[in-house]
Amino acid sequence: MEVKADLTLDLKGLLCPMPVVKINQAIKNVPIGGIIEAYATDPGVMADIPAWCRSTGNELVTIEKQDKVIRFVVRRLK
């Protein structure tokens, strides 16, 4: 899915709880409606980023695994 990201995050190599902590810090740096694109390698991200989006009320635009890298896109809603 093609989106224009306001911020791109490299979370590769980070393990729980750091991907969630980093996305939580980063989301404050984009405006409401803004887009963060991130790349991670922790397989736990596949479950945790959707859960984080549900807990915080932000939108998971896409999450996909390509080889070992997981790419996800989050839109800030509040």
Partner 1 sequence: MALEQIAEATAMPSEREVQNRLSMVVFSGDMDRLMAAFIIATGAAASGMDVTMFFTFWGLQAIKKQTPTGRSLFGRMLGVFLKDIHGVGPSKMNFGGLGRWMFKKMMKAHNVTSLPELRQLAAELGVRMLACQMSMEVMEIRREDLIDEVQDVVGVATFLEEASRSKITLFI
Q: Which of 3, 15, 16, 18 is catalytic?
A: 16
**Active site annotation includes 16:** yes
Q: How many CA atoms lie within 13 A of 42 on its CB side?
A: 17
User: With binding defined as CB under 8 A, does residue 47 bind partner 1?
Assistant: no
- Point out which span in 1-9, 32-40, 48-56, 65-73 binds partner 1 (CB under 8 A): 48-56
User: With binding defined as CB under 8 A, does residue 32 bind partner 1?
Assistant: no
In this structure, the dihedral spanned by the alpha carbons of residues 76, 12, 18 and 57, taken in order and rounded to 10 degrees, is: 20
Q: What residue ranges bind partner 1 (CB under 8 A)? A: 13-18, 20-21, 23-25, 51-52, 55-56
